[in-house]
Amino acid sequence: MRDWWKQWLANLGWSQSLLLGTLDIVLVLALTYMILVIISERRTLWMVRGFIILMLASALSGRFGLPLLSFVLEKLVIGCAVAMAVALQSEFRRFLEQLGRGEFRQMFQPDRLAIPKSDSVIDEIVEAVKELSKNRIGALLIVETTGPIDERDFSVPGVKLNAEVSKELIQTIFQPKTLLHDGATLIRGSRIISSGIILPLSGRTASRQLGTRHRAAMGITERVENCICVVVSEETGSISLAERGTLNRPLTIRKLKESLEALLSPTVDREAVAPGLLSFVRRIGGKTLAL
């Protein structure tokens, strides 16, 4: 069997070492591409690039016979790997969930940036929150910032609405006597996608002043990075904004508007780098086959 394999490679003009070397490069590039797809924010990418440079330096120091430097760099790589696992826990969770679900195709597909929210949509949200806060009516809004949220991240997906965003509709949804007021409302672009959504609660120890809505906002933003949550307290009318599991409170209406404009602006600090890597992999594959 082994002789047949070598003969087949010889007929193709390939050696076993060349094939294994090419396969090794392709697998490393594929793994790098998946990492860049999952981690697409520029500030995070700089950290990943620094980690890759550190690994390359560690490998080169060992190759050039610098044992002390190699030892120090190896320990730094291990420490940085642990630190990154903590800092990027949501990305790693997403990667493992996709791997467990067998969604291999999604791993190689970068999230499409959502349509930036226009000023009118932000104004409608802010005006609705202002009235809800004034009347001390509890509310929980989920606003997508990048690609669509997978409904499987919700405990209960809620009721489909697919309606235009308006302050009147948002206020109506959260009136205490309506059937959907207890759940969250999902906003995508300029549309209200669904309401009455039940979210997973955060497992963190929270202040007694925080209710179920606040814990739900922290829970979904811990689990999903491409969204933020606006919370209005039913008891005090205070306004909170949840992002990446962190709750910023209390906010004034002016501060809320500034935060939404910064987070939902089309100039948000994001870049698409992975698609270029994919085309690079394809070019390498084409040249290799041409050999």
Q: What is the pLDDT of residues 27-46, one digit of tens each?
A: 776 776 666 666 555 456 67
Highest mean pLDDT pick, 17-21, 42-46, 54-58, 163-167: 163-167
- Residue 199 CA, chain-centre distance (Å), reads 17
Domains of the chain with CATH codes:
2-110+271-290 (no CATH), 119-263 (3.40.1700.10)
Q: Residues 109-161: pLDDT tens digits?
A: 555 444 445 678 899 999 999 999 999 999 999 999 877 888 888 889 899 99
- Amino acid of residue 9: L
Backbone angles phi, psi at 229, to 5 degrees: -130, 135
Q: Do 113 and 146 touch, CB atoms closer than 8 A?
A: yes
Rounded-to-integer distance, Cα 20 and Cα 3, Å: 16
- Planar angle of CA 166, 150, 222, nearest 5 degrees: 90
pLDDT over threshold 60, residue 15 = no
Q: What is the CA radius of gyration of the chain?
A: 24
pLDDT of residue 53: 85
pLDDT over threshold 90, residue 272 = no
Q: Do 225 and 244 touch, CB atoms closer than 8 A?
A: yes
Question: Residue written as tokens 């207890």?
Answer: 182
Average pLDDT of the chain, as a whole number: 77
Q: Going by DSSP bridges, is the β-strand pair 139-144/184-188 parallel, antiparallel, or unpaired?
A: parallel
* SS3 of residue 105 by DSSP: helix
Q: Of the given ranges (5-9, 12-16, 277-281), which has the lowest mean pLDDT?
A: 277-281
